[in-house]
Amino acid sequence: MNASPWRVAPDPDDDVPLCTCCAGAPGVRGAVHEGETPIAVYYAEPAGMPKYPMLRLGLVVGRFADEARPQERRALCFVCRPGDADGAQLEPSEPWLASFPEMSQLGLRLAPEDLAADADAPRLRALAQAVIAGDDRLAPMRVDATGGAKGRAGARRHAFAADAPEPQG
């Protein structure tokens, strides 16, 4: 992946994006800057399990000057899974996160069905990839040098009875 034009600044008060059922923190947040100008805030909350990491990454993108209003920003969300050398798999999702309900008040909602047609879609996806690459707490979404998901190189999912071939009669 190319070097990012953005600087990701994780919130130092958050710990790791563990699920609440595992007695972990409910999620993490941070900001993204272009030069010294803040252009986005992000929120990440777990949606998978340790062996099958997945998270919901909410972004609020736009103007963050003192006089800026929510109408000058857009709120969107991706469901993220470990991907390949091009980055995490990103699927547009409804821009609402249980652990950060204030996200919906910070910008205008960009619905998942509208993202593909949005002229800014490639930039928004690149911004999400930059957040994953720039926040070490989101490392399970990254790919390591061997091509496997970081921390899961060579890992295989469990086999289930439904995976077994049908008996030949």
What is the tens place of the pLDDT at every residue in 10-38? 998 876 555 545 545 578 899 999 999 99
Give phi and psi for 133, each to the nearest 5. Answer: -70, -30
Whether residue 86 has pLDDT greater than 90:
no
Answer for the pair 8, 131: CB distance below 8 angstroms, yes or no.
yes
- Give which of 118, 133, 136, 43 is closest to 88, Cα–Cα: 133
How large a percentage of the chain has pLDDT more than 70? Answer: 75
Whether residue 167 has pLDDT greater than 90:
no
110-164 confidence digits (pLDDT tens) = 999 999 899 999 999 999 999 999 999 888 888 764 445 554 433 333 333 444 4
- Give which of 90, 129, 120 is closest to 3, Cα–Cα: 129
The conformation of residue 52, written as its DSSP 8-state character, comes to: B
pTM above 0.85, yes or no: no
